[in-house]
Amino acid sequence: MSLTILGLSGALTHDPSAALYVDGKLIAAAEEERFTRDKHAKNQMPFEAAKFCLSYAGLKPSDVDVVAFPFAKISLFGPARWHYARRYWYAPDRALDAIFNGNRHYRRNVKKVRALVEKLGINWDKIEFDAVEHHLAHASSAYHLSGFKEKTAILGIDGKGEYATTFFGYGENGKIHKIKEFYDPDSLGQLYASFTEYLGFEMLDGEYKVMGMAPYGNPDLYDLSRLIEFDGKDIKVNTELVNTIGLRRYKEGRRGFYFSQKLIDWLGPRRKGDIADDPYVHYAASIQKMFEEISLKLIDHYLGDILKASGKLVFAGGGALNVKLNQKILDLPYVKEMFVQPAASDAGTAVGAASFASWKRSVPPETMRHVYLGPDYTTAQCVQACEDHNPRPNFEAIEDVPARAAELLAAGHPVAWCQGRMEFGPRALGGRSILGCPSHVGIADKINEQIKFRERWRPFCPSILDSVAREMIQTDHPAPYMTITFKVAESWKLRVPEVVHEDGTSRVQIVDKETNPRYHALLKEMELRTGNGVVLNTSMNRRGEPMVCSPEDALNMFYGSDLEYLMLEDLLVTKRSSD
């Protein structure tokens, strides 16, 4: 008998998504923002994403057996709610609420899920509803999809779920075991996010900008240790400075931030603008170093014995998108292989809740092989989109798309590459990408300034052939999802300078022929023309926008930038001279 599970995320008012499992196979997954064109789709539920998943699988609403959601009830008899109340004593309304009405958010979420399910045409009374603890969903999204068979260490770092903020555990024979959790406000992820706000970026969006800024600063110029107490096994965030709520929050007009006036008094005004300047660039370096050092010591304390036995680690939660931390974890002598869930943020909890629900029903989820899980479009649909677009572009059918794209790239032109199924997760991996030739000096600045409209200091990443990975990044470790940075060999730094960051690393995607044959063919063509099987790859979107999904989205982005060439399935799209 078939088992169909629809996973839905959106429990924490950002990054709603949907994922569909049928008999343990992940058929489709997508984020709501890609359909609504509203980045992070805050305060929305994944209606369009869920509708797509069902449609792609050819299923009716009545075919759904289970709806899984990554937010569960938390008992008053456990430590979480009491810890929250004790630590937020200065906001008595929140503290008392945690004790006497601590599952208020759960009940509100269930109402929202039920309304969404009914809007989709699914009969609530004929399905099973599976509420999965938030960090168990993160853990499942990494462990159950990793393919690891040995006893496996599980790490989860994010802002918060219901109350938990950090998860240490292990997986064995499919079962996930908790070792230790930390609870709000003692959160490494929220500490980093709060400081992201202080550094002038949006929380949930700017953390990777802080990480990208950090290599330009000196982490030893400023001591930020008063932000957190750490004794080697426990953390206590200083809520007089960060992770603040209520009246402690620093405000600008009506907008409140997750840090206090005391932080401003100590470090100076909140950074504004796009310049990576002093002292903020050094603050970024210092917070990144602190985040790394505490995380590594906690891993050693709680997971060290497991890792020394098996060498296997899986990681999810927003903190898992910190690729510099991931590099340091992989450098630990007892970590042999690490799987980072590519959709590590809350978007990935739709997959995690569904995979956990599948495992619980004795249908093991399959190993994740790729993230090309979103919509795809035929060339005929792309032709129609071109004909309907105003202004109407030039377009021509191309017989050998990889060869023509490589020709343009090798000549120094950026090329938008919209091919096959859209990626799930935050990284463009050759489905919805803007590409450049990484040996062409200045191409990164051109894409930043004229196409992406983003900060000059933001790094770009390479997609590389599997056949050159060993030589370029000096490791055989898998890297299909741009989730880990690696040191680039000295000779390759000179060959592909536009994709090597300030600290000599690259966040690479290793491309194999099986998972993306057309993209692999493009890299082979680049190798023939330039000697390097490498392209600069960044997501196809402008600053502040989600990655494109449809041909219409791609054309809108194309005309909203200085891009000259768009490979839209089998079409080469250009602008008319009068446009």
Question: How many CB atoms within 10 Å of residue 360?
Answer: 16
Q: How far apart are CA 68 and CA 75, in angstroms?
A: 20
Q: Are 349 and 141 in contact (CB under 8 A)?
A: yes
- What's the half-sphere exposure (Cβ side, CA atoms, 13 Å) at 352? 33
DSSP string for residues in 81-117: HHHHHHHTTTSHHHHHHHHHSTTHHHHHHHHHHHHHH
pLDDT at residue 465, rounded to an integer:
98
N residues, the chain: 579
Q: How far apart are CA 428 and CA 32, in angstroms?
A: 16
Closest of 400, 377, 369 to residue 513, by C-alpha: 369
DSSP string for residues in 130-186: EE--HHHHHHHHHHHHH---S-EEEEEE-S-SSSEEEEEEEEETTEEEEEEEEETT-
Question: How many CB atoms within 10 Å of residue 445?
Answer: 12
φ, ψ dihedrals at 574, nearest 5°: -135, 170
Q: How far apart are CA 85 and CA 93, in angstroms?
A: 9
pLDDT at residue 456, rounded to an integer:
65
Burial grade of 41 (CB within 10 A; 0-12, 13-18, 19 or more): buried
Neighbouring residues of 371: CB distance < 8 A, sequence distance ≥ 6: 29, 342, 343, 423, 424, 425, 427, 429, 481
Residue in 14, 389, 440, 501 annotated catalytic: 14
**Longest Cα pair distance anywhere in the chain, in angstroms?**
70
Q: How far is CA 98 from the centre of its chain?
A: 30
pLDDT at residue 457, rounded to an integer:
63
Strand residue runs (E) in 198-317 = 228-230, 235-237, 249-252, 255-260, 312-316
Q: What is the pTM of this model?
A: 0.97
DSSP string for residues in 316-331: ESGGGG-HHHHHHHHH
End-to-end CA distance of the chain: 56
Neighbouring residues of 212: CB distance < 8 A, sequence distance ≥ 6: 457, 458, 459, 501
Q: Does the annotation count 14 as an active-site position? A: yes
Closest of 477, 463, 440 to residue 519, by C-alpha: 463
Q: How far apart are CA 178 and CA 167, in angstroms?
A: 7
pLDDT at residue 530, rounded to an integer:
97
Query: 571 to each of 245, 254, 394, 410, 551, how far by Cα in Å?
Result: 52, 48, 10, 19, 11
pLDDT at residue 508, rounded to an integer:
97
Strand residue runs (E) in 387-532 = 394-397, 415-418, 432-436, 461-465, 485-487, 505-507, 509-511
Type of residue at 65: D
* Parts of the chain with a pLDDT under 50: none
Question: How many CB atoms within 10 Å of residue 384?
Answer: 14
Closest of 210, 267, 192, 285 to residue 455, by C-alpha: 210
Query: What are the chain's domains?
Result: 4-142+346-360 (3.30.420.40), 188-340 (3.30.420.40), 379-574 (3.90.870.20)
pLDDT at residue 543, rounded to an integer:
87
